[in-house]
């Protein structure tokens, strides 16, 4: 932070975090509805005792109608069970909560605008027929996956793109600084979390310098930062440094279902030829400068070449959500030097405002086609029935399925929930490991020495259903063996979970997992 003060950026010190907004989230609404229902019920018992039979009869009929509605809806089966439990326990206000969460309050305009932007840019980056033909000849199954991903948005498959893998956040940070220093035209940054400290301070110095040199510098972060890391006036403070800044979906008390739809992506694009993605946010724990949950294991990748265009477009789609006209064509015209390297890469995004669960389906496709192994890193394991079945089926077919999870969790409830899946997975032959030194935040799938995904997509409901996410699917690129080597090296620092070791779990954790599983899709 001394560097920041020396360069006059001390004006960006933290302000109030808007804790008020944290209190009035979806959880606040659930608690208030619960209290209201209890109050109303007791009031009715006291004043309308003679009408209680009619009340209970009406409640039973209402619950029956809601149950029939849910059973015939298009919701995920696990989510249906959750809502059935809530409505049976809270017939009146449970139904009101369901209707509220299913409404378009707060994100109707966002949904309309995102669909408009995706439609406008659908053909912005044309798919090279030569590349697709070559991939089809090499692997028809992978080309089918490529066609599916392209169908969900403007996400072509590319060759001529070099991928560099970073096995730790510190490695990514060092290379980020080097690449940022070389920026000539524009810098686009979109991150879920930004927090002041050494990492952001060093980056901010460069951004301010580049902005003063005329580089178009844009920063976007998720609205949850307003009550956790940054003050609400932070965009104005960055503006004084010549940096354009936007907050995605500031948290609004009660009135918005926006609470679910967060921008969980991590994207850095420099001049259209270099991009970064992965699990690493811009905060000191991600580079182990400070310790929160033991040693922080995270990964990232850097892309150089044609595929960077997709990340440029992804950023601009999100940046232009609140703009009348989308400004993107000029940023896709910057020349990109061809890179002679083998393999293919598909950068892609996952939007929660449609019915296309791209992130989950890419993972499931890898699991279903795997022949030898699938090795997975994820900070969370909160699975729906489809994903759990895909993981188990791969193991039951004889595929070596290993899942690496944190040894020191960041949140007790998701950790307890993850462990409710362990017994079933272990029974099918899945191997589960916990990273003994600390917290695994990496989001990695690597398969058969040929395929890999690195990005922001966790194995939990929020990532798979409720967040804006991004990732890069890679086939036969040079760094895949490095990803697998890193997995195996990290595995040596893990403890294996077995049916025997699970007997030592705390009773309180087991009870928490059982209880939380009833509301898992809402987490």
The pLDDT of residue 175: 98
Task: Clarify whether residues 153 and 244 are in a common domain.
Answer: yes
CA 212 to chain centre: 33
- Give the global pTM: 0.87
Last residue within a domain, chosen from 63, 80, 102: 102
Specify whether the backbone of 12 is left (phi greater than 0), alpha (psi in -120 to 50) or beta.
alpha
Locus of tokens 């960006």: 12
Helix (H) or strand (E) holding 163: strand 161-166
Domain boundary pick from 68, 102, 136: 102
- Total of domains in the chain: 3
CATH of the domain at 220: 3.30.870.10
CA distance to 10, 199, 241, per residue, from 3 (Å): 9, 11, 15
Q: What is the mean pLDDT of residues 354-376?
A: 96
Burial of 318 (0-12, 13-18, 19+ CB in 10 A): buried
Whether 520 has a pLDDT exceeding 60, the answer reads yes
Same domain, 402 and 339: no
pLDDT band at 265 (very low <50, low <70, confident <90, very high): very high
6 pLDDT tier (thresholds 50, 70, 90): very low
Banded model confidence at residue 329, pLDDT cuts 50, 70, 90: confident
Does residue 373 carry a pLDDT above 50?
yes
Same-domain pairing of 95 and 121: no
Q: What mean pLDDT value characterizes the chain?
A: 86
Greatest mean pLDDT among 333-342, 366-375, 514-523 lies in: 366-375
Residues 200-223: tens digit of each pLDDT: 999 999 999 999 999 999 999 999
Q: What is the DSSP letter of 283?
A: S
pLDDT at 65: 74
pLDDT for position 316: 95
CA distance 41 to 143: 58
Give residue 498's domain range.
358-522
Region class of 271: left (phi > 0), else alpha (psi between -120 and 50), else beta: left
Find the mean pLDDT for residues 70-99: 71
CA angle 361, 367, 370 (to 5 degrees): 135
Whether 2 is in a domain gets the answer no
Could you say which of 347, 382, 402 is where a domain stops?
347
Q: Looking at the structure, do residues 210 and 118 belong to the same domain, yes or no?
A: yes
Rounded average pLDDT over 113-140? 91
Structure confidence at residue 35 (pLDDT): 63
User: pLDDT at residue 49 above 70?
Assistant: no
User: pLDDT category, 101, cuts 50, 70, 90?
Assistant: low
Considering the domain boundaries, does residue 282 fall inside one? yes
Percent with pLDDT over 70 in the chain? 81
In terms of domains, do 27 and 159 share one? Answer: no
- Give pLDDT, residue 34: 56
Give yes or no for residue 12 having a pLDDT over 90. no
pLDDT over 90 percentage in the chain: 63
Tokens of 467: 């967040």
* 463 in Cβ contact with 457 (< 8 Å): yes
């Amino acid at each position: 932070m001394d560097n920041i003060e020396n360069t006059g950026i001390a004006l960006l010190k933290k302000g109030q975090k808007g804790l008020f907004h944290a209190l009035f989230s979806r959880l606040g609404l659930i608690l208030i509805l619960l209290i209201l229902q209890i109050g109303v019920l007791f009031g009715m018992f006291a004043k309308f005792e003679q009408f209680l039979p009619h009340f209970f009869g009406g409640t039973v009929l209402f619950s029956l109608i809601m149950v029939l509605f849910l059973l015939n809806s298009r919701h995920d089966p696990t989510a249906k069970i959750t809502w059935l439990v809530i409505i049976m326990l809270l017939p009146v206000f449970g139904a009101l909560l369901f209707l509220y969460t299913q409404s378009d309050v707060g994100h109707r305009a966002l949904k309309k605008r995102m669909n408009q932007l995706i439609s406008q840019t659908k053909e912005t980056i044309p798919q090279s027929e030569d590349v697709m033909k070559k991939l089809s000849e090499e692997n028809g199954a992978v080309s089918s996956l490529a066609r599916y991903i392209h169908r969900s948005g403007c996400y072509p498959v590319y060759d001529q793109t070099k991928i560099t893998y970073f096995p730790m956040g510190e490695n990514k940070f060092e290379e980020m600084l080097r690449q940022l220093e070389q920026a000539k035209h524009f810098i686009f940054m979109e991150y879920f979390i930004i927090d002041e400290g050494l990492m952001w301070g060093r980056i901010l110095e460069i951004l301010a310098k580049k902005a003063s040199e005329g580089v178009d510098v844009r920063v976007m972060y998720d609205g949850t930062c307003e009550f956790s890391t940054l003050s609400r006036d932070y965009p104005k403070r960055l503006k004084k440094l010549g940096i354009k800044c936007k907050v995605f979906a500031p948290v609004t008390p009660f009135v918005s279902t926006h609470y679910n739809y967060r921008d969980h992506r991590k994207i850095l694009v420099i001049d259209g030829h270099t991009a970064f993605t992965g699990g690493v946010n811009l905060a000191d724990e991600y580079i182990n400068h400070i310790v929160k949950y033991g040693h922080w294991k995270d990964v990232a990748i850097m892309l150089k070449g044609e595929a960077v265009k997709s990340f440029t477009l992804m950023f601009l789609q999100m940046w232009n959500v609140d703009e009348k006209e989308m400004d993107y064509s000029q940023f896709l015209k910057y020349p990109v030097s061809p890179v002679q390297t083998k393999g293919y890469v598909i950068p892609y995004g996952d939007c929660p405002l449609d019915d296309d669960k791209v992130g989950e389906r890419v993972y499931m496709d890898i699991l279903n086609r795997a022949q030898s192994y699938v090795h997975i890193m994820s900070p969370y394991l909160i699975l729906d029935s489809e994903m759990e079945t895909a993981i188990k089926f791969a193991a039951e077919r004889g595929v070596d399925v290993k899942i690496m999870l944190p040894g020191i969790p960041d949140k007790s409830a998701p950790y307890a929930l993850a462990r409710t899946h362990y017994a079933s997975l272990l029974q099918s032959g899945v191997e589960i490991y916990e990273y003994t030194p600390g917290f695994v935040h990496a989001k990695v799938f690597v398969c058969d020495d040929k395929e890999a995904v690195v990005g922001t997509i966790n194995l939990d409901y929020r990532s798979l259903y409720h967040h804006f996410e991004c990732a890069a699917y890679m086939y036969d690129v040079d760094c895949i063996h490095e990803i697998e080597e890193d997995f195996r090296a990290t595995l040596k620092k893990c403890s294996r979970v077995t049916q025997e070791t699970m007997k030592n779990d705390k009773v309180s954790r087991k009870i928490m997992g059982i209880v939380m599983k009833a509301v898992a899709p809402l987490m």
